[in-house]
Chain A
């Protein structure tokens, strides 16, 4: 694993996540306008209702993508720490081996 690349990708995912909400925000005002300017129409209320569901969907996508980014970042961090630990062990072994070779 290229830790920095993966960690950066996790950050990109987390920064990308909120953009899903923009799709919902784009619909909010037109839906509200259509409902208010067409009083008595079922379609107006249905549009507002639809936006509510759509907003929930985009929010779910946002949370999921954000969660994925967090998991990716965490995995990168864990692997880095594990890598450092193994590196330390290898260095410890490395310190022993040359001494025996010199002998």
Chain B
């Protein structure tokens, strides 16, 4: 909103000039569009394929955009030209009124307000008794001038506001054409991918640096804390001791729980162990019925689950087979219910691992402590495999059954993706055992003795 003096000093003709420039700019864009279309036509004359179609689609977008821009520029130029022209006349009128009153001896304040000038006061003073009347006449003219100037300025301001608002709206209506994304092209993405990768690397590097910095900061902070706050540390140490005592109590309280936590899985079969031991002599039929029901529920639902997956792993089979000799004796000796579960184990064995559960639970406690370590590590069905040969030791048919099961289920293990090492059935499997045993630790041990033993053995008998 221009002040009165600003309105008098204004040059609204500049708006008209600007509007003319805008119109010329619209014409420039139109000419640019013409040249653009000419060039595109030239290109299209020698190019006909799908890429050219896509190119022309994009050209249409540009043409449409430019047309819209030209139209908007024309509208804005018209608005500015109309408003500027109106303001030119309004400012001229304002200047004319201002000049008229100043020429008549009035004083025009920038309010705007017209006041009586020195000449008027002199005339009033010279009028004598008619002075007040003359003053009233002059004052009426001055008030009329004030009203005219105020009105003129208000009209000018209204025109300015209307024009400016319209021009601002026209400016907001100008939406620049979105840049073609480099991802939309077939050529640029390669460079962009590289830059993106570099950016990621840089980000990672920055992250690493940030982590290092944070670590340094933490170290510094910890050092500062150590050097600075000894008293607090002492108090903290006391608190820590108290906490340690409390923790010790808690640990004592937790001690019976922690082994339970460390061996959570053997605890689960323990009640099962007790149950079959207690129930096997007493009730044989309910034993397979009880556990089989949940086993059937678990087996079909999760056939490839951890229950079946674990016992068929080669490592467990190795562990299970190696101590199986000791377990066989233990299981044999411990085959307390051997007659009972052994007989029930054969038919239940066809049903799946569920039968191995109770058998293993019988065998593992009977097998003694050495078998307890692997059985504890991989309880459940692993124990079932361990215990199974124990109970089946005296029965030859059980061993055949196990061998058959391994043979038939090895390819299944391949399907499950569990026993790829076993997939090469027995020959490769044994070789793999030898390789696995050679690679980690036994290789140097076994290799050295054969070279060393003949070296020592030969001279010894030679000397002797």
Please give, as numbers and ranges, the residues of chain A lying within 8 Å of B445 by CB-CB distance: none
Please give, as numbers and ranges, the residues of chain A lying within 8 Å of B69 by CB-CB distance: 54, 57, 61
- On chain A, the number of residues with a Cβ less than 8 Å from chain B's Cβ atoms is 55
Q: Which of A24, A38, A61 is close to B65, meaning CB atoms less than 8 Å apart? A: A61
Q: Do B18 and A34 touch (CB < 8 A)?
A: yes
B80 on interface, CB distance cutoff 8 Å: yes
Q: Do B6 and A40 touch (CB < 8 A)?
A: yes
Q: Do A57 and B176 touch (CB < 8 A)?
A: yes
B359 on interface, CB distance cutoff 8 Å: no
B395 on interface, CB distance cutoff 8 Å: no
B293 on interface, CB distance cutoff 8 Å: no
Q: Which of A47, A54, A74 is close to B174, meaning CB atoms less than 8 Å apart? A: A54
* Bound: A71/B429 CA distance, A: 61
* Bound: A43/B166 CA distance, A: 9
CB-CB nearest in chain A for B41: A9
Instruction: Given A26-B28, A43-B15, A60-B176, check contact A9 B39 (CB 8 Å).
Output: yes
Please give, as numbers and ranges, the residues of chain A lying within 8 Å of B172 by CB-CB distance: 53
Q: Do B175 and A6 touch (CB < 8 A)?
A: no
* Bound: A71/B48 CA distance, A: 15
Q: Do B170 and A56 touch (CB < 8 A)?
A: no
Interface residues of A in 61-80 (CB under 8 A from B): 61, 63-65, 67-68, 71-72, 74-76
A88 on interface, CB distance cutoff 8 Å: no
Q: Which of B3, B21, B51, B180 has the most CB of A within 10 A?
A: B21
Q: Do B168 and A49 touch (CB < 8 A)?
A: yes
Please give, as numbers and ranges, the residues of chain A lying within 8 Å of B187 by CB-CB distance: 71, 74
B289 on interface, CB distance cutoff 8 Å: no
Min CB distance B127 to A, Å, is: 41
Please give, as numbers and ranges, the residues of chain B lying within 8 Å of A41 by CB-CB distance: 2, 6, 10, 12, 87, 160, 164
* Bound: A42/B3 CA distance, A: 12
Q: Do B177 and A61 touch (CB < 8 A)?
A: yes
Please give, as numbers and ranges, the residues of chain A lying within 8 Å of B18 by CB-CB distance: 27, 30-31, 33-34, 47
Q: Do B177 and A57 touch (CB < 8 A)?
A: yes
Q: Do A10 and B32 touch (CB < 8 A)?
A: no
Instruction: Given A6-B47, A30-B14, A33-B18, check contact A13 B39 (CB 8 Å).
Output: yes
CB-CB nearest in chain A for B168: A46
Please give, as numbers and ranges, the residues of chain A lying within 8 Å of B178 by CB-CB distance: 60
Please give, as numbers and ranges, the residues of chain B lying within 8 Å of A65 by CB-CB distance: 36, 62
Interface residues of A in 1-47 (CB under 8 A from B): 1-3, 5-6, 8-10, 12-13, 16, 19-20, 22-24, 26-27, 29-31, 33-34, 37-47
Q: Do B171 and A49 touch (CB < 8 A)?
A: yes
Q: Do B15 and A47 touch (CB < 8 A)?
A: yes
* Bound: A63/B80 CA distance, A: 28
Q: Do B165 and A46 touch (CB < 8 A)?
A: yes
* Bound: A61/B163 CA distance, A: 27
B29 on interface, CB distance cutoff 8 Å: yes
* Bound: A52/B171 CA distance, A: 8
CB-CB nearest in chain A for B173: A53
Q: Which of A10, A43, A59, A61 has the most CB of B within 10 A?
A: A43
B76 on interface, CB distance cutoff 8 Å: yes
Min CB distance B110 to A, Å, is: 12
Please give, as numbers and ranges, the residues of chain A lying within 8 Å of B43 by CB-CB distance: 5-6, 9-10, 13, 72
B396 on interface, CB distance cutoff 8 Å: no
Please give, as numbers and ranges, the residues of chain B lying within 8 Å of A23 by CB-CB distance: 25-26, 28-29, 32
B22 on interface, CB distance cutoff 8 Å: yes
CB-CB nearest in chain A for B12: A38
Mask: chain A, 70-103; 1 = CB below 8 Å from B; 0 = not: 0110111000000000000000000000000000
* Bound: A27/B72 CA distance, A: 14
* Bound: A20/B177 CA distance, A: 13
* Bound: A53/B185 CA distance, A: 27
Q: Do B2 and A38 touch (CB < 8 A)?
A: yes
Q: Which of B25, B163, B168 has the most CB of A within 10 A?
A: B25
Q: Which of B17, B24, B35, B51 is close to A75, meaning CB atoms less than 8 Å apart? A: B51
Q: Do A26 and B21 touch (CB < 8 A)?
A: yes
Instruction: Given A60-B177, A71-B187, check contact A34 B15 (CB 8 Å).
Output: yes
Q: Do B45 and A5 touch (CB < 8 A)?
A: yes
Enumerate the 5 nearest inter-chain pairs by beta-carbon distance, A residue then B residue, closest first: A42-B164, A2-B46, A9-B43, A40-B2, A60-B176
Q: Can you list 22 contacts pairing A with B, beta carbon distance less than 8 Å?
A: A1-B46, A5-B45, A10-B43, A19-B28, A31-B21, A34-B84, A40-B6, A41-B2, A41-B87, A43-B87, A44-B164, A46-B165, A47-B18, A49-B168, A50-B76, A50-B171, A60-B179, A61-B32, A61-B65, A63-B179, A64-B180, A75-B55
List residues of chain B with CB under 8 Å of any chain A CB: 1-3, 6-7, 9-12, 14-15, 17-18, 20-22, 24-26, 28-29, 32, 35-36, 39-40, 42-43, 45-49, 51, 55, 58-59, 62, 65-66, 69, 73, 76, 80, 83-84, 87, 160-161, 163-165, 167-168, 170-172, 174-180, 185, 187
List residues of chain A with CB under 8 Å of any chain B CB: 1-3, 5-6, 8-10, 12-13, 16, 19-20, 22-24, 26-27, 29-31, 33-34, 37-47, 49-50, 52-54, 56-61, 63-65, 67-68, 71-72, 74-76
